[in-house]
Structure formats: structure tokens, C-alpha cells
Structure 1
Amino acid sequence: MQDRVLAVAMNGVTGRMGYRQHLTRSVLAIRKAGGVVLPDGSRVVPEPVLVGRSADKLRRIAEQHGVERWSTDLDTVLSDPGIEVYFDAQITSAREEALRSAIAAGKHIYTEKPTAASLGGALELAKFARDAGVRNGVVQDKLFLPGLLKLRRLLDSGFFGRVLSIRGEFGYWVFEGGWQEPQRPSWNYRAEDGGGIVLDMFPHWHYILEQLFAPVRAVTATTATHIARRWAEDGSPYAATAEDAAYGVFELEGGILAQINSSWCVRVDRDELVEFQVDGTEGSAVAGLRDCRIQHRVATPRAVWDPDAPADQGGYRDQWESVPDNADFDNGFRTQWEQFISHVCADTRFPFDLLSGARGLQLAEAGLQSAASGRRVELEEVELP
């Protein structure tokens, strides 16, 4: 069978995430490997068309990676009938308008999140895509991390019994600038540009909780702007107007409670930058980006609180077992790209659509509402009219 070439407009590839995870480690890696194999045995080879604002950056990336086409004119790219898919990894505040234009042009949509500036806007996009008959997907990369794939394996096996609670810790110290270069762009800390850790991370927590455990029914959150003054890319100081830390309690359907701390102002004292501890009646697990450790009910030591005597059982972490890989794990972004390409070209199942992205934004909005009001906020069922 002859390979099919799928032209993909990629907007935002000059940014860190768009370039590293989506262009080089996903689309170009898939192209180099010969494409995606469809259920009928045929192959689809993605061919990126780079889109952005900086001609110099786009030209440099294109020359470095052997990409033939690039443009700073999104309208021209979207008007090309040979381009079938539009991908967006832009700054959040620019995404909704671009996605709307791409749907109007009849392109299939794959996008980073949040998908819009508000829940209303996200639902309008989902309805617009549905009515236009275009396939659509939202990046939910963390579901494909080795540690969470192992956690899913444990859940599917019934290892936990009845799940009781989840505790998540995410974050690291993002340098303020001025004396050391920040690891994140300055817009992340400006609310007027769509910044803030709630909009950045709560959509991730939503799909992890929803896909692995149960739908989120209520949230109570507290936010903080711990570092009020930061330095931009050009070295100039600016006032941080968005929160850089959020502490949330999520109530899941079925009585499961999840507590997740998210912070760009925390120094790491754990094995990985994100870890989730899941406790159940029959066993517990701690899953990170790559590793997953377990302690079953029958192997749980008897802990006794005694501050006047040293622990005589060794380190607590030494009492846990590691879950073996038992599989080869590819880059999570690439795995989801392969699934979306198959969805577009062979109509395979892809549950991570714009409606699921809207539900993630709903949780972020509820978290911000809870933090502003100091109250618990319930989440209503989100459906398209």
C-alpha cells in the first residue's frame, strides 16, 4: 500500500512545549519512523507546516529539521485545502480565535489546553467542531506517562480494592529572573495573558482524575501569588498578577477524595516532579512520571507513633515494592499524536475531544471561583446542546 501524507499545520512550535514535545519528539519522530500504521496496514506520514509570528525562528527550525513549509500568515495556511489538520500550542490567550478559524476552514483540530478563555468559549468550540463534522482532540499527555500507565494497570487489576483517597504533589522552584534565568515564560505569571497555575494544571488534574478514577463533582481551592515580582525575558521586572500556587481538594463521584498541591514556588524533596499516592482498602501506590511503588494490605507494616524513640523498621520508603515496566513506554506526547492521526485517518476511538477539554476548563474555573469566595464549588454536568 502507498503511504498517505497528512499535512499538519503546527502553530506555536517556536515555544518550548510546541517545539520539544510536539514537533521534534512527536511529529518529526513519527515521520522519521515511517509514519503511523493504521488498522488496515497502511501508513500515514505526518508532514508539518510550521506557523508562528517570527519568520527568523520558523526559518531556522525548518532548516534545522528539514521541514519544507512554514508561514507567518495563519489565514493563508488555513485556506490551503491540502492541509487537513491544525494543531495549536500558542499562548493561551491566542488559542480560541485560531481554533475557531481552523474549524471554520474545515480542518481537523488537535490542541493544547486550556482550549479557550472561558468554559462558555470552550463549549462553543466543541459544538462548532461537532456541527462542522471535524475530528478534534485535546492533548492529555500525562495519561501516557509510564508511572500513570502502571497505575492504570493496578486499577484495572483491582489491586486497590475500594479507592479511598488520592494525594498529589506537583511543582518545582521556577527562578524569578534577574539573577537566574526562569524556566517558564513570563506570561505564565500574568493573569491578563491567560497565566496562572490553576489554568495551567487543573485541566491536567481533571483528566487524570476523570479517566483513572471518577468524575469530579466539587472542588475547594486556595491560591496564592507567593512571588509578587518577577523578571521578563528582556530582563525587565514586572508584577506577577497570576497565582503561582494552588492547593485543592477534589470530591469525586463515589466518595473518593483527592488533594493535590500545585506550586512553582516549592523546592523538590521527592523522587519525581509529580507524584500521586493512591490509598485503597486492599493496597496503596505512589506513581510518578516513570516509576510506581506499591504496598499491599498483607505487606503493610504496623506503624506506631512514638516521637521519643527512633523508628526500628528502617526507612519507610524501603518498605514498598516497585511495579515492573513489563512494556516499552514511548514518549507520551508522541503516543497521543499517533492515536489522533489514526482517529483522523481511520476513525479509531479517541475520547480526548474538545468536550473533555471543556470539562477541564470547568474545573479550573471552579477552582478559581472557590479560591475567590472561600467556598466549596459544585460542578454541574457539562453537555453540548
Structure 2
Amino acid sequence: MTLSEENTVSTPLGIIMNGVTGRMGYRQHLVRSILAIRDSGGLELSDGRRIVPRPILVGRNERKLADLAAQHGVEHWTTDLDEALRDDSAPIYFDAQVTQAREKAIKAAIAAGKHVYTEKPTAESLDGALDLARLATEAGVKNGVVHDKLYLPGLVKLKRLIDGGFFGRILSVRGEFGYWVFEGDWQEAQRPSWNYRKEDGGGIVVDMFCHWSYVLENLFGRPEAVTAKAVTHIPTRIDEHGQRYTATADDAAYGIFELPGGVVAQINSSWAVRVFRDELVEFQVDGTEGSAVAGLRECRIQHRATTPKPVWNPDLPVTERFRDQWQVVPDNADLDNGFRAQWEQFLRHVLEDAPHPYDFLAGARGVQVAELGLRSSEEGRRIEIPEVTV
């Protein structure tokens, strides 16, 4: 520790964290974000203060909470959300529960005067999501929704290309996301069984269209219409207890999103696809002046001036390796874990009113796109996406 660090005033900040016994809540939000900030000495604010997060773990399973607290040196945990919300030393509430439990808990946090940061979807319906946005506005509490994919190194580089005018006029976006989730019989499934039960809030449209909504909006423009087909490719699966169950939720979705300026985005999302690409998610953007393919971490480009002239001849073998003709975009920055980066942005928003545009209304727009995507699939037609307000 340096002399300047020794002289910095460190202030503990209580953060109520509900749902961190789950995979995402534990790995990305607790371990790689809040505990990582704590263990690095805290977050330094613009006035020189250093804020050290003090997580308060909330959940339903007492044993899991006790084990997590002991493992990571967390002093406070409880199965009583109301008890945690009465803690005046914790001005922030975070929610990573299953979607069905989220809306009620967030309403309780707003009523307790807490600033709220949450995973998405924020609610099970657009009406519920807009209600949360209205309540937070009326209560005057700051609110934010996780937009983690905007902080991925690959998409940060893609945004840099867009801002620099690399593409000229953007024509189209093509996204591929997914992997094979084992059915659970001879290999254990990588995702909880509730993901495949509609009655428990499962479904890939509800999960992923919220992501694609904010990715498209913040990179290319707010989606104006959606045409989608949601399907259940694997009709039965095996749950965590070895019991066979009927998959009532969609496990794949094929969407077309119409964007401002005539840009067309096509995004396939599937838990029933085997990966033949460099990363689990990739977006190809084609423009009049150049193209790019961005994944979680990498981004490759091909400029108009260096675009080769492929010739279609099915009678001859291909002699060129098309992937070798693309140039790698350099990092040019230390790109930290995206979940941690947004946590730090939200904490600065709460503590010193720094900008954080991804609020409950932004989250509601994601719920809207998912809701209309499912409706498009059910009705077999294109649906326009109206603007929503609180």
C-alpha cells in the first residue's frame, strides 16, 4: 500500500444483494464485481474518497448463504429481505433473483427508499416494468438495469468503429448466439431447469431479446419493428433431481429487427445449437465502406479497399482462407470485466450523480421487445415497436 492510499479515507457502503446464490449473481455480480472492488481497496470517487462495498447477502437457502459468507469473508447475510431493507447503512439494493420474484422485491426496496440496481428482465410484463420505472421516479431513487454486453471488449471495439465512421452507411447486422445445453440425461445440463419452463419464467426470448434490445439500441438505433419465430426444439429434459419434465418454454428464437435508417438486424438465439464460430456470440456488421465481426472479446474488420473478390465456382476447390483476410482490431485500452465496469458506473451514479443512462425505462424497453417478439411468433407476423414512456 502506498502512502497516498494509507491517507485515503475509506468509507464502507452497504449493498443488499438478493439472489447471489444463483450462477450469474454469484460469479459475475458478487465475486467478480462487488468482492473484486472490495478486495482491491474500494472504488475511488472524484473527491478522493474511497468507497468499500459491504455486501449483505439475501436469499432463501440459509445453508448456501452461510457457506458463501464464510468462504468470502462476508459478515452479514439473512433470509429475511425486510430485515435487510431496514438497514440504514445499506442505501443500495441489487436483485439477481428469478424474474418471477424480482418485481415484488424491487417494489419493497423502492418503498424502503433504496437505490436499485437489477438484472433483467426487470419484470414479467411491460406493464410491470413500466410500473417499476414509475414508482422509482416518484420515489426519487436512482435505478439501473444490467446492460453487461455493452461492456464486452468485442462490442466496445465495435462501438469505436461505429463512432469513427468506419462502416460508412450501415446496411445490416447479423448475430449468432448460443450453444448446446445438454438435456440432462447422460450429461448434466449447464443451465437450471427453470429456464425451460414457461410457468417459471423461462424461455430464450424473455432472456435474450432484452439483451438484443439494448445492444441494438445503443449501437445502431432503437428497434422499430420485430418479426420473430420462437420454438422449443427439445421437448423434454431432465431436471436437477434426475426427473424428466416437459419443456414448456422456447429454447431457440429467430428474430428480424428493423432499425432506423433501413438497417436490418437478424439475430439467432439458441440453446440447441452446436458452436462452429470463434465465440459464443458474434455480430457481423456490413456497411458500404467496411465490415466487422465482433464477439465477446475479439473484433475483426475488412475495409472496402482491402475486400477481395471471391469467385463462385462449385467445380473448383476453394484456395483462399476467407478468415485470414480480416484484420484484428487492437484493444487500445485495459478493458475490465464488464459487470464490474457497470457496477462502478452505477455506484458513481448513486454517490456523485455521474451519468448512468441504463435505467428502469431502458429495462422496460427490453421487456417490451421480448413481449412483442413472443407475440410476433404466436401471431406469425411483423409487429411495430411503439415508444414507451413512464
Asked whether the two chains share a fold, i.e. TM above 0.5, the reply is yes
In the TM superposition, residue 40 of structure 1 has moved relative to its aligned partner by 1.8
Residue deviations 1:289-335, cap 9 Å, x none? 000000000000012211111223x1110110100111111100000
Secondary structure at the residue paired with 2:183? coil
Q: Indicate the residue corresponding to 1:245 in structure 2.
A: 252
Matched, 1:71 2:68: no
- 1:190-243 Cα offsets, whole Å, 9 max, x none, are 000110000000000000000011010000000110001001111111100000
* Residue aligning to 2:142: 135
For 1:94 and 1:173, how far apart are their aligned partners in 2? 27
1:367 corresponds to: 373
Corresponding residue of 1:329 = 335
* 2:371 partner amino acid: E
Name the residue aligned to 1:355. 361
Structure 1 counterpart of 2:276 = 269
Distance 2:106 2:232 in 1: 30
Query: 1:339 matched to which residue of 2?
Result: 345
Please state how far the C-alpha of 1:253 moved relative to its aligned partner.
Answer: 1.3
Partner of 1:193: 200
Q: In structure 1, what is the equivalent of residue 17 of structure 2?
A: 10
Q: Name the residue aligned to 2:214.
A: 207
Where 1:53 maps in the other structure, the secondary structure is coil
Residue aligned with 1:151, SS: helix
Report the Cα distance in structure 1 between the residues aligned to 2:82 and 2:178, rounded to whole angstroms: 38
Partner Cα distance (1:110, 1:235) in 2: 35
Instruction: Give the 3-state SS of the residue equivalent to 2:261 in structure 1.
Output: coil
Alignment of 1:142-153 (within 5 A): 142-153=149-160
1:289 paired residue number: 296
Q: Distance in 1 between matches of 2:239 and 2:86?
A: 35
Q: How far has the Cα of 1:3 moved from its partner?
A: 1.9
One of 109, 118, 122 as aligned partner of 2:125: 118
Q: Does 1:259 align with 2:266?
A: yes
- What is the DSSP-based 3-state SS (H/G/I as helix, E as strand, rest coil) of the residue aligned with 2:94? strand
Length-normalised TM-score, structure 1:
0.99
Deviation at 1:101, TM superposition (A): 0.6
Q: Confirm or deny that 1:316 pairs with 2:305.
A: no
Match of 2:232 in 1: 225
Q: Is 1:154 aligned to 2:154, yes or no?
A: no
Q: Give the AA of the match of 1:151.
A: L
3-state SS in 2 of match to 1:249: strand
Tell me the TM-score normalized by structure 2: 0.97
Query: 2:185 corresponds to which residue?
Result: 178
Distance, in Å, in 1 between the alignment partners of 2:160 and 2:119 is 26
Q: Cα RMSD between the aligned structures?
A: 0.7
- Deviation, structure 1 residue 80: 1.8
Percent identical residues: 67
Q: What letter matches 2:247 in structure 1?
A: A
Structure 1 match to 2:387: 381
Q: What is the identity, as a one-letter code, of the residue corresponding to 2:62?
A: A
Please give the alpha-carbon distance, in whole angstroms, between the structure 1 residues aligned to 2:186 and 2:100.
29
Give the 3-state SS of the residue equivalent to 1:214 in structure 2. coil
- Which secondary structure does the structure 2 equivalent of 1:83 belong to? coil
Q: Equivalents in 2 of 1:360, 1:168: separation in Å?
A: 17
Distance (Å, rounded) in 2 between the aligned partners of 1:178 and 1:310? 41
SS at match of 2:202: coil
**Which runs of no fewer than 5 residues in structure 1 stay unpaired?**
none
* Deviation sequence 1:57-79 (CA, Å, 0-9, x none): 00000000000000000011112
Q: Secondary structure at the residue paired with 1:267?
A: coil
Residue 55 of structure 2 aligns to a residue in which SS? strand
Alpha-carbon distance in 2 for matches of 1:165, 1:329 = 27
Q: Which of residues 60, 73, 77 in structure 1 aligns to 2:67? A: 60
**CA distance in structure 1 between the partners assigned to 2:326 and 2:243 by the alignment:** 48
Q: Unaligned 5+ residue runs, structure 2? A: 1-7
Deviations for 1:258-303, whole angstroms, at most 9, x for unmatched residues?
0000000000000000000000010000000000000000000012
Cα distance in 2 for residues equivalent to 1:211 and 1:341 = 21
How far, CA to CA, are the matches of 1:61 and 1:133 in structure 2?
Answer: 33
Write the letter of the residue equivalent to 1:176.
E
Residue identity in the other structure for 1:90: Q
**1:37 to partner: Cα distance:** 1.5
Q: How far does residue 41 in structure 1 lie from its aligned partner after superposition? A: 2.0
Show CA shifts across 1:136-184 (max 9, x none). Answer: 0000000000100110111111100111100000000000102111000
Q: Which amino acid aligns with 2:251?
A: D
Report how far residue 4 of structure 1 moved. Answer: 2.0
Question: 2 CA distance for matches of 1:235 and 1:9?
Answer: 34
